[in-house]
Amino acid sequence: MTSERMKLEGSMVAIVTPFFDGEVDFDALGRLIEFQIDGGTQGIVPCGTTGESPTLTHEEHDRVIAFTAEKVAGRVPVIAGTGSNSTAEAVQLTKHARAAGADACLSVNPYYNKPTQHGMIEHTRAMADAGLPIVLYNIPGRTGVELAAETIAQMYEEIELVVAVKEATGKLDMASAVASACDITILSGDDSLTLPICAVGGSGVISVLANVLPAEVRRLWDFIEAQEMHDACTQHLKLFPLFRGMFVQTNPIPIKAALAMIGLCGDEMRLPMTPLAQQYRAGLAQLLRDAGLNVQAE
């Protein structure tokens, strides 16, 4: 490709979608966005897995993206989750995100229908017609299908708007395979693997933990970017208990509980997701206290 692609890097957040009494709590979302920017977060990712996109109506989905883009107001990139297992739906969501002012889109592997590698290439090619830079989201544990490294490389070669991949396979070899196959930007999709992924060519993270500790996740990235690997390792190990703690139950259950514990938003979920089980609450609250956060309630 001869034209310059959009470059995404650094500490980004997969932001939650707060609810109150069954509705999206836009006041709380606005506070969360400001909290992220004040904490040094370098990109906001609404309507992803952590944003409970599967339970948002199409109208809510569009409103959350538009609200986020308006609130961010160009201060950092907004990467809107617009993926779907229906290509037509994904294209429509992406067109709206572009019109609403998003800077890029996050495209999850089409889930449940288990397309072939060729099918995922054509799905992505159709999404590119919406005119928004695409971050591939490779998360087979959620989708039942995995993008092969060779497929990612082919997409990067053939589809100019493919600019990055959020690597969430949980397999360290995958980041190495992708980095050796092409020059696509690799973003960690697992907080606990950010350091090792960046050690083999990754350029940042789309973080869950950053919802409550944006400055600390940014600090990890700053050490990595400066190639201060001893300090990066120290920061990684400091955060590791919380990296794991945010997955004691299915994401985003623990991170929403954590946000409620420190008073940033409620922990209301939409079925089939339910709030954090009582047996995990004391342990999570202690992890937050150990990180220096003010726990207001368990």
Q: Is 285 helix (H, G, I), strand (E, B) or coil?
A: helix
| Residues annotated as catalytic (active site), given as ranges | 137, 166
CA atoms within 13 A on the CB side of 195: 20
Distance CA 48, CA 73 (A): 20
Q: Is 93 helix (H, G, I), strand (E, B) or coil?
A: helix
CA atoms within 13 A on the CB side of 137: 29
* Rg of the chain taking only CA atoms, in angstroms: 18
Distance CA 195, CA 65 (A): 29
Relative to beta strand 19-20, strand 23-24 is antiparallel
- Would you say 46 and 64 are in contact if contact means Cβ atoms under 8 Å apart? yes
Per-residue CA distances from 249 to 194, 281, 284 (Å): 20, 11, 11
Closest C-alpha among 161, 235, 248 to residue 205 = 235
Q: Residue 210 is encoded by which pair of tokens?
A: 């950053």
Greatest distance between any 2 Cα atoms in the chain = 55
Q: Order of strands, edge to edge, in the sheet holding 44-45?
A: 44-45, 10-14, 204-207, 185-188, 162-167, 134-138, 104-108, 79-81
